[in-house]
Amino acid sequence: MKKKNIGPSARQLKVGENLRKAISFMMQNHSFHNSIIDKTSILVTEVRVSPDLSNASVYISTLGGINNSAELVSALNNSCRPLIGPLTRELKLRRAPRLNFMLDDSFARQSYIDNLINSAKKDQL
């Protein structure tokens, strides 16, 4: 009988967390020579790695409420090439994962849901 794959494996979670830490550190210490990236405070919230470790989705959020998120994600996807070599060496991976930066909107969704719950409670009283 075949087991159903419910979620990511322990290796995927470990590599994802190590990538998140390493990307955060490198983004703090690396100059991208791009005004959008260099002037923005970026928070790497999560990294999801594919089962074969060849692709990584990097979820980011901006600090300070900056609304140029689409431009920032595009700039990061175009400028992430210098990070790949050092990341691969630091994490001792055989193959460099392809990084795909994405905007993490979970904080906005959480705030929206909290507001809906609070308004429902007020209407009930």
Alpha carbon 40 to chain centroid, angstroms? 15
Does 1 map to a domain? no
Mean pLDDT of the 47-54 span: 92
Q: What is the pLDDT of residues 9-26, one digit of tens each?
A: 888 899 999 999 999 998
What is the pLDDT at residue 47? Answer: 94
Q: What is the pLDDT of residues 105-124, one digit of tens each?
A: 877 788 888 888 988 888 87
Does 5 map to a domain? no
Q: Which domain, by its residues, includes 35?
A: 10-124
CATH of the domain at 21: 3.30.300.20
Question: What residues contact residue 27 under an 8 Å CB cut-off, 6+ apart?
Answer: 42, 44, 83
Does 3 map to a domain? no
Does 120 map to a domain? yes
What is the pLDDT at residue 49? Answer: 94
Q: How many domains, in total, are found in the chain?
A: 1
Q: In terms of C-beta density within 10 A (0-12 exposed, 13-18 middle, 19 or more buried), how is residue 103 classed? A: middle
> Rounded to 5 degrees, what are φ and ψ at 100?
-130, 110
Q: In terms of C-beta density within 10 A (0-12 exposed, 13-18 middle, 19 or more buried), how is residue 101 classed? A: buried
Does 2 map to a domain? no
Question: Which of the four pLDDT bands, split at 50, 70 and 90, describes residue 4?
Answer: low
